[in-house]
Amino acid sequence: MNIKRFWSKLLIAWLTLTLGLGLLAGCGSPVNSSVDEGALPDGRLSVYASFYTMYDFAVKIGGDQVSVTNMVPAGTEPHDWEPAASDMIGLEKAAVFIYNGAGMEHWAETILGSLQNKELLVVEASKGLPLLHGSLGEEEETAAGREDETEGVDPHVWLSPAVSALCMIADTVDPHVWLSPLNAKAEMENIKNAFVRADPEHAADYEANYARYAAELEALDQEFRETLAALTHREVIVAHQAFGYLCAAYGLKQIPIDGLSPDSEPDPARVAEIIDFAKEHEVKVIFFEELVSPKVAAMIASAVGARTDQLNPLEGLSDEERAAGADYFSVMRQNMEALKAALE
Ligand SMILES: [Zn+2]
């Protein structure tokens, strides 16, 4: 994955140079000079969101006053996604760019540093939230030997020791803050504040939308508390280490088969440990997610006589889910029901 990132950074640098030259060449054109940066012809704010949840929050807070582009296509897992040239062109004309931060969008800093669009208002939605670190859990760390930390060491030390140290830290931070409803409320507030700044004329609309969804998120938090409080079991085995904030908020214990990014292969010793743990704690369900292969979860489930089910990290919805009207709230309630059935 690190080698992939290295090449992707080279690609981004190349795109930046090419686009930069293209924009410079276009500066003399009278057509370009008449474009009002960030405002669409119908007056709405042009907003770019780095993946589905950021998109959903932006649509909820922005309402009719914004036009939001979800940069990651439906059905695509966002951890290893990279922006294309068309995304760069869109960002050069956008008014607001919303990303989660906390290491979720490894491409964001490179892109932001290279854009010519000096008017772009950048929102790091997770800003101000306390962050958790990726971990294999207190009881499970021993045999697997703190894999999460060694995994984060960037082999490209020759590029720059300082940069490599930063990569290591970034890879161990758990970015999935949005999966706790109260964190989602804080992210929506950051997005609301940005819209008010970018478009003060419609501040009252953004404030009203935020007030409505903040209340809904508080209600959702209360539902989670009431639903999960009385359950017998607290151990949640997940394929992708995305539910740390959700588990921390409601006193559950996440046992990840795999790391913070869902595409790496778990090692056999780790799988054997999980199987022992699941047997010992009579775990009934091994969770996986839609955008990633259920192979390892299914193998563990069959070894311990458990079943598999889905927990959705809201990193991307399929076209079918979108067409059926799914959103943050409906998916979080599905997650709540799945947890309840697994832990009863
Ligand atoms: Zn994730």
Spatial distance between the Cα atoms of 187 and 203, rounded to a whole number of angstroms: 17
Higher pLDDT, 149 or 24: 24
Residues 73 and 94: beta-carbon distance below 8 Å: no
Spatial distance between the Cα atoms of 172 and 259, rounded to a whole number of angstroms: 9
In angstroms, what is the span from residue 315 Cα to ligand 1's centroid? 7
Average pLDDT over residues 176-202: 98
* Residue 11, both tokens: 């690609």
In angstroms, what is the span from residue 91 Cα to ligand 1's centroid? 24
In angstroms, what is the span from residue 76 Cα to ligand 1's centroid? 12
Spatial distance between the Cα atoms of 173 and 131, rounded to a whole number of angstroms: 7
In angstroms, what is the span from residue 256 Cα to ligand 1's centroid? 12
Query: For residue 32, what are the CA distances in angstroms to 19, 223, 278, 334?
Result: 15, 51, 61, 47
Q: Give the model's pLDDT for residue 291.
A: 76
Residues 277 and 165: beta-carbon distance below 8 Å: no
The DSSP call for residue 265 is P
Query: Could you tell me the pTM of the whole model?
Result: 0.81
In angstroms, what is the span from residue 171 Cα to ligand 1's centroid? 12
In angstroms, what is the span from residue 278 Cα to ligand 1's centroid? 23
Average pLDDT over residues 84-94: 95
Higher pLDDT, 222 or 22: 222
Reported as a pLDDT band with limits 50, 70 and 90, residue 15 is low
Residue spans of beta strands (DSSP E) within the chain = 45-49, 66-70, 96-99, 121-124, 235-238, 253-256, 285-288, 307-310
Spatial distance between the Cα atoms of 247 and 123, rounded to a whole number of angstroms: 26
Reported as a pLDDT band with limits 50, 70 and 90, residue 202 is very high
In angstroms, what is the span from residue 147 Cα to ligand 1's centroid? 17
In angstroms, what is the span from residue 242 Cα to ligand 1's centroid? 5
**Quick check: 145 pLDDT over 50?**
no
Higher pLDDT, 25 or 293: 293
Reported as a pLDDT band with limits 50, 70 and 90, residue 19 is low
In angstroms, what is the span from residue 38 Cα to ligand 1's centroid? 30
In angstroms, what is the span from residue 205 Cα to ligand 1's centroid? 32
In angstroms, what is the span from residue 208 Cα to ligand 1's centroid? 30
Q: Give the model's pLDDT for residue 110.
A: 93
In angstroms, what is the span from residue 16 Cα to ligand 1's centroid? 27
* Fold of domain 225-343: Rossmann fold (3.40.50)
Tell which residue, 187, 185, 181, has the closest CA to residue 102. Answer: 187
**Quick check: 40 pLDDT over 80?**
yes
Q: Give the model's pLDDT for residue 74.
A: 87
In angstroms, what is the span from residue 94 Cα to ligand 1's centroid? 26
Q: Give the model's pLDDT for residue 181.
A: 98
Mean pLDDT of the chain: 83
In angstroms, what is the span from residue 328 Cα to ligand 1's centroid? 15
Q: Give the model's pLDDT for residue 18.
A: 54
Weakest-pLDDT range from 1-15, 153-167, 316-330: 153-167
Cβ-count burial of 252 within 10 angstroms (0-12 exposed, 13-18 middle, 19+ buried)? Answer: buried
Segment of 9-13, 15-19, 108-112, 287-291 carrying the highest mean pLDDT = 108-112
In angstroms, what is the span from residue 263 Cα to ligand 1's centroid? 10
The proportion of the chain whose per-residue pLDDT surpasses 70, expressed as a percent, equals 78
Reported as a pLDDT band with limits 50, 70 and 90, residue 9 is low
In angstroms, what is the span from residue 189 Cα to ligand 1's centroid? 22
Q: What is the tally of helices (H) and strands (E) in the chain?
A: 15, 8
**Quick check: 265 pLDDT over 80?**
no
- What does the pLDDT look like over 69-88, one tens digit per residue? 999 998 888 998 999 999 99
In angstroms, what is the span from residue 202 Cα to ligand 1's centroid? 34
Residues 88 and 117: beta-carbon distance below 8 Å: no
In angstroms, what is the span from residue 259 Cα to ligand 1's centroid? 9
**Quick check: 159 pLDDT over 70?**
no
3 state SS of 67: strand
Residues 6+ apart with CB under 8 A from 114: 12, 13, 16, 20
In angstroms, what is the span from residue 89 Cα to ligand 1's centroid? 26
Average pLDDT over residues 236-259: 93
Query: For residue 172, what are the CA distances in angstroms to 109, 169, 261, 328?
Result: 17, 5, 10, 25
Q: Give the model's pLDDT for residue 319.
A: 86
Query: For residue 52, what are the CA distances in angstroms to 176, 208, 254, 316?
Result: 13, 22, 23, 5
Higher pLDDT, 259 or 164: 259
Which regions of the chain carry the CATH code 3.40.50.1980?
A: 2-131+177-216, 225-343
Q: Which CATH number is 2-131+177-216's, of 2.70.98.60, 1.10.540.10, 3.40.50.10860, 3.40.50.1980?
A: 3.40.50.1980
Reported as a pLDDT band with limits 50, 70 and 90, residue 112 is very high
Spatial distance between the Cα atoms of 165 and 153, rounded to a whole number of angstroms: 8
